[in-house]
């Protein structure tokens, strides 16, 4: 009873197939898809401004790819009160100067005993790419400045055993080991500590991307930690299943990276966040291999060291594989959207929905600016008919239904499940939406809004090239303080922008991206025009720091899913007691006494970063 055929027969007969029901799927070579070296995402995809001022996202990947977007630049210019346009370009100087690597021939020699030549690289561009995780400051640095310290060597292990040997070799040669997944942490987690004097080996895990086994009867799979979301999704879909984890970075981020950052997926309402999905993992530590011979559903087995790994940000070791839950691909997937009078009303709508027992896989509410942002990303209308349609739509929304175009918000939703489940959820969803003044916006807009997440990620690189520095940040907050938090952050951004005498007006928009019984996740974009501004990155970071002060003062968290890394470690003393931070450092020392895994994130090796504030508490 170990083959898929007889499993299917047993299930069709209404019995549970017995025995060891795991199988190893054939290894399907993933189509080579080159990622960009100097910016976000795939190499074939970037926003370019045309001489007529229209913007085109190159390539064919996204719902906004390869069409003229005539209103994006004008809209951004209007919002920033700044002359963004084709002529006004901030030309990148990629690649920057890259520091020469340290030399450690003895280590190389040792690694070459079990690795092929193509598994080691000291190519400057490769080392550069493996020394950042796509924070705005890092991307600005590689395009307009430099990174002061980069990894000395990048290795590409192909198996768990190679990782074991690699860590042993680094132990022997006292090299520092930095695990690398998708390189999309956006927290400076890959940025090397300034005082790191050792030879630094970045370990790119992405050749370890096999599905080691699938168990369709027990809904589990064992997957190598370097598999990216897009590969996992495709490999599992071939068998009618999914692990359901869809962070915004799902195309590029890896299973191991999700664990290390305690990631959250857009469809967590149905599938859970990463800590709910991962049942077990194998980790190479400086003490050896942390693993378990078998795994059962939910256990009470003492202090499970697995628990230390969620959010460990590379501090403890390298996850080489993990056992994850599987879910049947939903029989039904429906998109939807709802126009709402305001963000406040959108929050109230989500609040009521959250206790309805019918929360859809994903539901998000965009604020007014983000609604218009979405409109600005619409392609050139194909003639008069489309324009007329659009005018009629506007008329209905604003005049007939009484929405204020400067206040309305929009919810996008993805329903997934059995036909019955989805029917139940949809009925509940639209009933509650109506009570909050909601008007159906249709499935097409819903799908577009959901998928825009992926295309929109490329826009930061575009704005950089036109003198606008912009980035996202996020938090979670209890329901009762969500609007207060939104307003505080918004007002602080305006005040900071003014106090710093920055040009134009600041860009600010937010959306509510997750609901919990206890509150929501909020995701913000902030930016400003920076031509002529002295050290715009510093200005941006100080403003983000100020925004975070407001977030904490309004009861928000340091991060809902991005993590701490190094970008937010100065705030750790505001969210943990000194003893809690001390324990984290002590545990780090216990798990990794020689700081072999020297990424140095969330203050484990930098006590000064986590000393209590002089003034005590959060500045407001």
Q: Please report, as residue ranges, which positions from 196 to 255 form the binding site for its own copies (by CB under 8 A).
A: 215, 217-220
User: Cα Rg for the chain, rounded, in angstroms?
Assistant: 25
Q: Identify residues 258-297 at the interface with its own copies (CB under 8 A).
A: 261-264, 273, 276, 279, 285, 287-297
> Would you call 557 exposed, middle or buried from its count of C-beta atoms within 10 A (0-12, 13-18, 19+)?
middle
Residue 582 engages its own copies in binding (rule: CB under 8 A): yes
Exactly one of 97, 333, 518, 607 binds its own copies (CB under 8 A); that residue is 518
Q: Are 359 and 269 in contact (CB under 8 A)?
A: yes
Which of 411, 584, 599, 609 binds its own copies (CB under 8 A)? It is 584
- Does position 491 interact with its own copies (CB under 8 A)? The reply is no
Of the pair 12, 382, the CB lying nearest its own copies is at: 12
Q: How many residues bind its own copies (CB under 8 A)?
A: 118
Q: How far is the CB of 380 from its own copies (least distance, A)?
A: 40
Please give the Cα distance from 370 to 124 (Å, whole number): 39
Nearer to its own copies, 60 or 307 (CB): 307
Pick the binder of its own copies from 63, 233, 344, 368 (CB under 8 A). Answer: 344
Q: Which is nearer to its own copies, 210 or 562 (CB)?
A: 562
CB 165 within 8 A of CB 159: no
Report which of 551, 559, 567 is spatially closest to residue 609, judged by C-alpha positions: 567
Query: Which span (17-25, 206-214, 438-446, 537-545) binds its own copies, by CB under 8 A?
Result: 17-25
Measured from the CB atom, the residue of 223 and 521 that comes closer to its own copies is 521
Can you list the pairs that 140-144 forms with residues at least 24 positions away whose Cβ atoms lie under 8 Å?
140/464, 140/469, 140/536, 140/537, 141/96, 141/537, 142/38, 142/94, 142/95, 142/96, 143/38, 143/39, 143/92, 143/93, 143/94, 143/96, 143/464, 144/90, 144/92, 144/93, 144/464
Is the Cβ–Cβ distance between 399 and 348 less than 8 Å?
no
**375 closest CA partner among 66, 55, 59, 75:** 75
Count Cβ neighbours within 10 Å for each residue of 246-256 and write b for 16 or more, e otherwise: bbbbbbbbbbb
Question: Of the listed pieces 106-114, 176-184, 387-395, 514-522, which binds its own copies according to CB under 8 A?
Answer: 514-522
- Candidate list 96, 360, 556, 600; residue touching its own copies; CB under 8 A: 556
Q: Which of 82-90, 145-153, 492-500, 549-557 is the region at the interface with its own copies (rule: CB under 8 A)? A: 549-557
Q: Based on CB atoms, which residue is closest to its own copies, 511 or 561?
A: 561
- Minimum CB distance to its own copies smaller for 90 or for 557: 557
By beta-carbon proximity to its own copies, the closer residue of 66 and 518 is 518
CB of 178 to its own copies, least distance (A): 17
Binding mask 592-611 for its own copies (x = CB under 8 A): ---------xxxx-------
The sheet with strand 55-57 has its strands ordered as 47-49, 55-57, 68-69
Burial 440-464 (b: 16+ CB within 10 A, else e): ebeeebbbbbbebbbbbbbbbbbbb
Produce one character per residue of 375-387: b if its CB has 16 or more CB atoms within 10 Å, e if not: ebbbbeeeeeeee
Shortest CB 530 distance to its own copies, Å: 29
How crowded is the C-beta side of 351, counted as CA atoms within 13 Å? Answer: 16
Region from 140-148, 348-356, 391-399, 528-536 binding its own copies, contact rule CB under 8 A: 348-356
Contact set for its own copies, span 25-44 (CB under 8 A): none
* CA dihedral sign of residues 535, 461, 150, 260: positive
Structure tokens at 237: 């879909």
Choosing from 299, 404, 406, 498, the residue that interacts with its own copies (CB under 8 A) is 299
CB 269 within 8 A of CB 246: no
* Binding track over 398-427 against its own copies, x by CB under 8 A: -------------------xx-xx--x---
Contact range with its own copies by CB under 8 A, out of 368-376, 460-468, 482-490, 524-532: 482-490
* Binding flag, residue 483, its own copies (CB under 8 A): yes
Taking the complex as a whole, how short is the minimal distance between the CB of residue 306 and its own copies, in angstroms? 8
Site string for its own copies, 302-341 (x = CB under 8 A): xxxx-xx-xxxx-xx--------xxxx-------------
Closest of 458, 473, 450 to residue 527, by C-alpha: 473
Binding map of its own copies across residues 92-131, x = CB under 8 A, - = no contact: ----------------------------------------
3-state helix, strand, coil in the chain (%, to 5): 35, 20, 45
What's the closest the beta carbon of residue 255 comes to its own copies, in angstroms? 16
Q: How far is the CB of 608 from its own copies (least distance, A)?
A: 16
Question: Which residue lies nearer to its own copies by CB, 233 or 291?
Answer: 291
Could you say which of 29, 31, 301, 382 contacts its own copies (CB under 8 A)? 301
Q: How many helices (H) and strands (E) does the chain have?
A: 21, 21
Nearer to its own copies, 154 or 216 (CB): 216
Name 430's Cβ contacts closer than 8 Å, sequence gap at least 6: 336, 338, 438, 440
36 vs 587, which CB is nearer to its own copies? 587
Residues 80, 74: Cα–Cα separation, whole Å: 10
Catalytic site residue from 62, 335, 486, 523: 523
Strand 153-155, strand 200-204: pairing? parallel
* Catalytic site includes residue 523: yes
Residue numbers annotated as active site: 523
């Amino acid at each position: 009873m170990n083959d898929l055929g007889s499993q299917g027969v047993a299930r069709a007969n209404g019995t549970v197939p017995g025995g060891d029901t795991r199988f190893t799927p054939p290894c399907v070579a993933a189509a080579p898809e080159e990622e960009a070296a100097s910016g976000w995402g795939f190499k074939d995809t970037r926003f370019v401004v045309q001489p007529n001022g229209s913007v085109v996202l190159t390539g064919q990947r996204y719902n906004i790819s390869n069409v003229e977007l005539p209103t994006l630049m004008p809209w951004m210019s209007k919002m920033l009160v700044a002359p963004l346009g084709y002529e006004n370009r901030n030309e990148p100087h990629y690649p920057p100067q890259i520091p020469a690597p340290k030399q450690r021939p003895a280590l190389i020699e040792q690694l070459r005993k079990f690795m092929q030549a193509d598994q080691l690289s000291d190519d400057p561009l490769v080392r550069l790419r493996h020394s950042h995780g796509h924070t705005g400051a890092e991307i600005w640095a590689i395009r307009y400045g430099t990174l002061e310290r980069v990894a000395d060597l990048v290795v590409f292990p192909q198996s768990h055993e190679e990782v074991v040997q690699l860590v042993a070799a680094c132990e022997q040669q006292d090299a520092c080991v930095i695990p690398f997944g998708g390189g999309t942490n956006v927290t400076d987690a890959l940025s090397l500590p300034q005082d790191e004097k050792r030879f630094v080996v970045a370990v790119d895990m992405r050749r370890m991307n096999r599905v080691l086994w699938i168990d369709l009867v027990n809904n589990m799979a064992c997957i190598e930690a370097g598999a990216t979301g897009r590969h996992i999704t495709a490999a599992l879909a071939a068998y009618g299943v999914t692990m359901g984890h869809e962070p915004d970075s799902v195309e590029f981020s890896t299973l191991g990276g999700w664990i290390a950052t305690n990631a959250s997926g857009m469809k967590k309402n149905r599938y859970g966040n990463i800590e709910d999905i991962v049942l077990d993992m194998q980790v190479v530590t400086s003490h050896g291999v942390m693993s378990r011979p078998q795994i059962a559903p939910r256990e009470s087995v003492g202090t499970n060291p697995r628990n230390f790994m969620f959010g460990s940000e590379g501090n403890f070791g390298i996850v080489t594989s993990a056992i994850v839950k599987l879910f049947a691909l939903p029989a039904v997937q429906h998109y939807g959207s709802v126009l709402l009078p305001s963000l406040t009303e959108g929050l109230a709508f989500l609040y009521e929905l959250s206790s309805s027992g019918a929360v859809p896989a994903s539901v998000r509410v965009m604020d007014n600016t983000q609604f218009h942002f979405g409109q600005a990303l619409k392609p050139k209308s194909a003639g008069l008919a489309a324009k007329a349609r659009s005018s009629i739509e506007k008329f209905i929304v604003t005049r007939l239904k009484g929405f204020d175009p400067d206040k309305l918000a929009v919810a996008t939703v993805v329903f997934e499940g059995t036909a019955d489940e989805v029917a139940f959820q949809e009925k509940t969803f639209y009933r509650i939406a109506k009570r909050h003044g909601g008007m159906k916006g249709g499935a097409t807009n819903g799908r577009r809004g959901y998928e825009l997440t992926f295309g929109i990620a490329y826009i930061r690189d575009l704005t950089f090239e036109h003198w606008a520095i912009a980035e996202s940040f996020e938090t979670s907050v209890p329901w009762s303080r969500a609007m207060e938090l939104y307003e505080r952050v918004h007002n602080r951004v305006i005040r900071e922008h003014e106090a710093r005498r920055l040009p134009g007006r600041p860009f600010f928009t937010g959306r509510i991206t997750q609901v919990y019984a206890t509150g929501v996740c909020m995701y913000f974009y902030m930016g400003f025009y920076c031509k002529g501004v002295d050290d715009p990155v510093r200005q941006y970071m100080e403003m983000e720091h100020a925004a975070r002060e407001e977030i904490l003062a309004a009861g928000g968290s340091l991060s809902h899913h991005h993590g701490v890394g190094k970008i937010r470690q100065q705030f750790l003393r505001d969210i943990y007691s000194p003893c809690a931070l001390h324990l984290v450092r002590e545990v780090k020392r216990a798990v990794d006494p020689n700081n072999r895994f020297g990424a140095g994130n969330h203050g484990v090796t930098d006590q000064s970063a986590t000393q209590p504030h002089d003034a005590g508490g959060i500045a407001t």
